[in-house]
Amino acid sequence: MSHLEELKKRRTFGIISHPDAGKTTLTEKLLLFGGAIQTAGAVKNNKIKKTATSDFMEIEKQRGISVATSVMAFNYKDKQINILDTPGHKDFAEDTFRTLTAVDSVILVIDCANGVEAQTERLMEVCRMRKTPVIVFINKMDRDGKDPFELLDELETKLDIKVRPLAWPIGMGYNFQGVYSIYKNKLNLFQAEKTKIAAEVAQFDNVNNPEIDEIIGDQAAAQLREDLDLLEGVYDPFDREKYLNAEVAPVFFGSAVNNFGVQELLESFIEISPEPQGRDTDKKFVASTEPNFSGFVFKIHANLDPKHRDRIAFLRIVSGKFERNTFYNHIRLDKKMKFANPTSFMAQDKSVIDEAFPGDVVGLYDAGNFKIGDTLTEKDNYSFKGIPSFSPEIFQELENLDPLKSKQLEKGINQLMDEGVAQMFIQQPGNRKIIGTVGQLQFEVILYRLEHEYGAKCSFRPRNFHLATWITSDDDAKIEAFKRAKTSNVAMDTDGNLVFLAETPFLLQIAERDYPEITFHRTSEFLLEKKK
């Protein structure tokens, strides 16, 4: 099969949500329908000693939350589906933001009781900024929640995007009976089945079929028909082009834990969602149809399998065909590399592949050659754009509690920083390590992983910094003067770039006023411009 035929088969998307909206459960049910797993794990049921397929790190299993993006692939109806399940917790938002650079569309999961929450709004801002097509799945309809019409209004108001329902719930909470697919013009009623695919109870092609009244009751049937008439009067017909241009978000309803509405979502998704898209570089736009291979690293994970101490770089393929044991250009290092064991993923389960195509995510075993944002190409010399590091908001100094394990600590903290879970700034004298994150929970994850994966014990001491900004200037003398004046607030990042650690917003403003020849950067995007 040709490169272009393979491209048309791919669908690569991310699942995002506020914590506890049911994102990981939905991921599992999609895998279940795709035949990738036979039994879905009970995500939060401690009596059943199973955990979600996509939550594979030990700390995730203990906490019942996702703290790292998982990559999973499966086939469904002649399409290859690549799912990137992201952390919902705001403390791991940066991992989610980077993941959104590697997907072509997004499914946004909303809890019907809570509606649009703060983290949902932040995630949607990133999708709007990147013009990423979004499908909304309103989850937990088996529980009492907000009125569906109220939820649609809330989505439009808070997320600043037009919506178009393509499915509609029959009842809610105790009275929830199923979902009517507006897109397919079918009513599918399912029995609740939490771990396996449920047997189909009934299917109708016409909502006016009198048998519907017999099955769901006269009142529910009348309400369904009334709601559908109202929807058709209020909302414009679904326009796929507007969805692909991120101007309208299709909305589906269901209960992921009970398999209600999941199949309707999946079948509509594979029809309307975009094929793999191209990406911007520092020199040109690279279309997914271009014949020469290219791709970028959007995630690095150390100790995916702690027994083997492996380190994996996750590569999103943008164009061409990736082939095993073929030399490619590592742009940042300016050297050629080949990969003997590239892998595809089912969470932590890996299988070696011989080839991969645009939209696919490939795992590359890495001995320290990769950083997040690195580009691989077959021929051309360019770098993909849009994977910045954000300025941290919480800062703590790393303190070694076991001097005999200094080497393990050094290796561990360097590898975790390469993953992008946090940022490290080195202060002199003393080579002091200041760790910066966007959330407190990340420090707990770092401590846990350093001890359990590297055998290093350490602690964190809070440091009173407000923001880290990268500083640059065309006048070296001004930089040297700034370093002398701000000795206790200057550090280097892990790439040797100069950073100013401002203690308060006011002191940052003063520094910007007093040193107009120096630029204070809030993200690392400027580094790409510097490479040109």
| Residue-level pLDDT at 385 | 83
- Burial grade of 196 (CB within 10 A; 0-12, 13-18, 19 or more): exposed
Task: Return the CATH superfamily for domain 279-377.
Answer: P-loop containing nucleotide triphosphate hydrolases (3.40.50.300)
Question: For strand 79-85 and strand 10-17, is the pairing parallel, antiparallel, or unpaired?
Answer: parallel
With 0-12 / 13-18 / 19 or more C-beta atoms within 10 angstroms meaning exposed / middle / buried, residue 472 is: middle
As a whole number of angstroms, the distance between CA 437 and CA 488 comes to: 20
Q: Which among 346, 342, 304 is positioned nearest to 71, based on CA atoms?
A: 346
- CATH architecture of the region 394-531: 2-Layer Sandwich (3.30)
Question: Could you give the C-alpha distances from 416 to 288, 395, 421, 430, in angstroms and in order?
Answer: 31, 16, 6, 21
- At 350 the pLDDT is 62
pLDDT, residue 51, reads 43
250 three-state secondary structure: strand
pLDDT in the model for residue 66? 40
SS3 category, 73: strand
The answer to whether residues 179 and 137 touch, using CB atoms and an 8 Å cutoff, is: no
Please tell me the predicted confidence (pLDDT) of residue 202: 64
Give phi and psi for 395, each to the nearest 5.
Answer: -130, 135
CATH 3.40.50.300 residue spans of the chain:
14-72+81-272, 279-377
Q: Which residue has the tokens 């997004």?
A: 106
Which residues, in sequence order, are bridge partners of residue 315?
297, 362
Q: Are strands 432-437 and 394-400 parallel, antiparallel or unpaired?
A: antiparallel
The pLDDT score that the predictor gives to residue 333 is 92
Give pLDDT, residue 269: 93
Given CATH 3.40.50.300, say whether it is the number of domain 14-72+81-272: yes
**How do residues 54-83 score in pLDDT, each as one tens digit?**
444 454 444 443 434 467 888 888 888 988
Q: For residue range 196-224, what is the model confidence (pLDDT) as tens digits?
A: 555 555 667 778 888 888 888 899 889 99
Which pLDDT score, from 0 to 100, does residue 518 have?
A: 94
- Sites in the chain below the pLDDT cut of 70: 1, 35-70, 86-95, 190-203, 303-310, 345-350, 386-390, 524-532
Query: Which part of the chain has CATH 3.30.70.3280?
Result: 394-531
Half-sphere exposure of 17 (CA within 13 A, CB side): 27
